[in-house]
Structure 1
Amino acid sequence: MFNRFLMTLTTALMASTAASAETITLRVLGQPSGSGLIAQQKEEPFFKALAEKTGLDIKVEYLPVDVAGIPDTDGLRILKSGLFDIVSIRGPQVSRDEPSVLGLDLVGLNTSFEAGRKHMDAFKGYVGGRLESQFDAKLLGVWPAGPQVIFCKPEIKGLADLSGLKVRVGDQSAANFVAKLGATGISMPFGEVQQSLSRGVVDCAITGPASANSGGWPEATTTVLPVALQLAVNGYAINLKSWEKFSPEQQEKLAAAIDELNSDIWSFSEELYEDAMRCNTGQTPCERGKPYALTEATVSEADLKTVAAAVGEVSLPVWAKQCNAVAPDCEETWKKTIGAELGL
């Protein structure tokens, strides 16, 4: 089914591409159109202006993953196929195909932007090597959507109240974490969450405050518990054959431009988090989102300890087993890099 879908979409894209022999066409598969302001105000404008910014003789065709009709879980397969030249990788979603990606952002690992920068920098070289060997792709950097917090339809006061509830999660690490709390982790595309909350298909859902605001989640929930579980790592990668169409000097210009985008998103993500938390809970100033009136549950010391302990007790052991199954040196490398940072 995937191969048939690939052939159909390839034919459609080839028919729509009319570039001269000298001009390099870069087909970019972006973040979902409804996922929030990072996609709308940073990613899409950047790629649409990439030719002008770099001075390269390129034509960029940017398409959000949901508009393309491609499951965001297929990002790495799409990249390897060459159907798109650059893919905006959604880390949690593609981790089923490449578990090492999840090692950048295990539950309990990145509870702040500062920690996230340190840990992702330490391990992204290994992830990049895996993408190159397994998916014929070059990693062009990583960035966070922002702290992933918990939105619930029933009122909750802390993590203990998740017991018995159905919680939408972004990846297996989060599913394992909520299972330890007595909840059931349910995976579903972002676009389906708001309606699922409204209908009671799920009781709670995990995402960043800005994405929740863009997706209208506060309309279907009552409470937000702002305990940061992860940073929701994303990134950019380019198909190696596409990369090799450029000269070394051109590659340097392209990589430098995307480095700048990654850096810009890191800063923007932090600004968005603070503004969206104010918007979602009816506080001011609310400059970038829609105002709502969610109750903000107080994060207890017990909740902070539960999240901090999750790395050693839940997320690392389960993830290491999955990652070692496809890459025997995965856990060992993680412990020598991120593990060393943590003093493990």
Structure 2
Amino acid sequence: MNGLKRLGAFFALSAAFALQTPAFAVDWDFATANAPGNYQTKLDEKFAAEVAAATNNEVKINIHAGGQLGFKGPEMLSVIRDGLVPIGSFQFAQQVGISPILGASSVPYLVSGFDEMKTFRSVSKPYYDAEFKKFNQKLLLTIPWPGQNVFSKVELSNSDTFRTMKIRTTDRNGSDFFRSLGASPAQIPWGEVVPALSTGVINSVSTSTSSAVDGQFWDFQKACNVVNWQSNFEGVSVNLDAWNKLSAKNQKAIEEVVARLEPVFWDAAKAEDSKNFETLKAKGMEIYTPPAAVRDAMAAKGKPSWTAFEDAVPAAKPLLKSYLTAVGKQ
């Protein structure tokens, strides 16, 4: 074959390959502060794989866990709004600085346990869809975190124990709540929690079993006090400018993936919580259910925050009213 024929064959092969390869393939970086091994990150990875399959590899999502892209959890709503990354995940409660209504589920003892979380997800959907749109985003997935418990060096045997606690919280709701119980709260980003424990800056942490396992809390703590005082959600959202650049076919394909995976991801969260309790016990931590008097005292301190939240965030009032009616709470 002479040079011209070889060149012609090369261009013919290139043209054929171009016809088989998407002309406008989308390559998105996905930012999350969650640790690479965390179950939320694994679910993000499954979502990315399913999106690639459903769009015939026209939409590729690259998961960057553990804050690899330099963004912290509380920054993510702004980061995605501004297009610094097209897609990512974050805890709703960490965004209350710019979107107070996203802190609704984290109000103490308002939403407790997976069943109530499912009801809240259903009731809050139109409110949160509208809120994300204000921030130039589309909320794709909502995934529960296991309930918030108190990890400490000692058993939470009575209410006075709180006075000995320098406790890490994730948001303002948590800080206000534990301060009302007599503790000394500190809002600390996840990446700084283990160093703070090791140096004694804090001696207690309010978090889920997942984070306790991620942080290997058994190296610092002895007790997991099961109080389930707060429920947090992880959201996966996409920048609307990036979303609107997708073809209608790929948008529909991703929405179908979301509808199919979200129930699966909720089941995974429940299984994760059960597995984590077993891991904590195997590593030597004691699992305590505090006395009824302690739990009643916590609930009593928490309930006034429902009204306070409504007063501070008037837009949340219809959401809370609908939710409380749905779960039969007063």
1:32-51 C-alpha deviation (Å, 9 max, x unpaired): 22572331x32224314521
CA distance in 2, matches of 1:200, 1:37: 28
Structure 1 residues 56-65 or 222-231, which shifts more? 56-65
- Structure 1 position 118, deviation (Å): 0.4
The 1:75–1:201 alpha-carbon spacing in structure 2 relative to 1, beyond 3 Å, is same
The 3-state SS of whatever aligns with 2:157 is: coil
Q: Which moved more, 1:178-187 or 1:48-57?
A: 48-57
2:31–2:64 contact (8 Å) kept in structure 1: yes
Instruction: State, as a whole percentage, how many aligned pairs show the same letter.
Output: 20
Aligned to 1:264: 264
**What is the aligned partner in structure 1 of residue 32 from structure 2?**
30
Query: Within 2, Cα distance between the matches of 1:109 and 1:88?
Result: 23
Q: Match of 1:198, SS?
A: helix
Q: Which moved more, 1:299-308 or 1:222-231?
A: 299-308
- Shift in Å at residue 306 of structure 1? 3.3
Structure 1 residue 217 displacement after superposition? 1.2
The residue that corresponds to 2:102 in the other structure is 101
Size of the aligned set, in residue pairs, is 309
1:86 aligns with 2:87: yes
> What residue number does 1:336 align with?
321
Whole-angstrom distance in 2 between the partners of 1:158 and 1:44: 42
Matched-pair contact (CA < 8 Å) for 1:153–1:197? no
2:127 corresponds to which residue? 126
Runs (4 or more) in structure 1 with deviation over 4 Å come to none
Matches within 5 A, 1:238-253: 238-253=238-253
Aligned to 2:56: 55
Aligned pairs for 1:154-169 within 5 A: 154-169=154-169
Residue identity matched to 1:23: A
Aligned equivalents of 2:159, 2:280: Cα separation in 1: 20
Which of 285, 301, 306 does residue 292 from structure 2 map onto? 301
**How far is 1:117 from its partner?**
0.5
The alignment partner of 1:281 has SS state of helix
Distance 1:148 1:111 in 2: 9
User: Deviation at 1:231?
Assistant: 2.4
How far does residue 21 in structure 1 lie from its aligned partner after superposition?
A: 5.0
Q: What is the Cα deviation at residue 116 of structure 1?
A: 0.8
Go from structure 1 to structure 2 and tell me whether the alpha carbon gap of 1:256 and 1:169 turns closer, same or farther (over 3 Å shift).
Answer: same
Paired residue secondary structure (1:61): strand
**TM-score normalised by structure 1 residue count:** 0.82
Deviation at 1:311, TM superposition (A): 4.7
The amino acid that maps onto 1:85 is: P
What residue in structure 1 maps to residue 112 of structure 2?
111
CA distance change for structure 1 residues 158 and 21 in 2, over 3 Å: closer, same or farther?
A: farther
In the aligned structure 2, how far is the partner of 1:84 from the partner of 1:26? 8
> How do residues 61-76 of structure 1 correspond to structure 2 at under 5 angstroms?
61-64=62-65, 66-76=67-77
Mapped pair 1:136 → 2:136: yes
Q: Separation in 2 of the partners of 1:231 and 1:343? A: 16
Report what 1:317 is aligned to.
Answer: 307
TM-aligned CA distance change 1:228 to 1:338, over 3 Å: same
Describe the shift of the 1:158–1:225 C-alpha distance in structure 2 as closer, same or farther (beyond 3 A): farther
Cα offset, 1:20, TM superposition: 7.3
Confirm or deny: 8 A CA contact 1:35 1:190 kept in the other structure.
no
Q: Give 1 or 2 for the bigger CA radius of gyration.
A: 2
Q: Is the 8 A contact 2:113 2:228 kept in 1?
A: yes
Q: Find the residue that maps to 2:235 and give its secondary structure.
A: strand
Moved more, 46-55 or 237-246: 46-55
Displacement of 1:294: 1.3
Is the Cα–Cα contact under 8 Å of residues 120 and 323 in structure 2 kept in the other structure?
A: yes
Alpha carbons of structure 1 residues 38 and 194: separation in structure 2 relative to 1, 3 Å:
same
Rounded Cα–Cα distance in structure 2 between residues aligned with 1:146 and 1:161: 24
- Equivalent residues of 1:151, 1:204 under 8 A apart: yes
Task: Give yes or no for contact 1:147–1:229 (8 Å, CA) kept in 2.
Answer: yes
Greater shift, 214-223 or 249-258, is seen at 249-258
Structure 2: 5+ residue stretches without partners? 1-20
Matched residue SS, 1:88:
strand
Contact 1:35 1:211 in 2 (8 A): no
Structure 1 distance, partners of 2:37, 2:208, is 10
Q: Distance in 1 between matches of 2:66 and 2:97?
A: 17
1:312 positional shift: 2.8
Name the CA distance, whole Å, in 2 between partners of 1:101 and 1:35.
Answer: 26
**Cα distance in 1 for residues equivalent to 2:301 and 2:62:** 41
CA–CA distance in structure 1, aligned partners of residues 264 and 158 of structure 2: 33
Q: Which residue of 1 aligns with 2:4?
A: none
Q: Bigger shift: 267-276 or 154-163?
A: 154-163
Hey, what does 2:212 align to over in structure 1?
Answer: 212
- Counterpart CA distance in 2 for 1:34 and 1:102 is 25
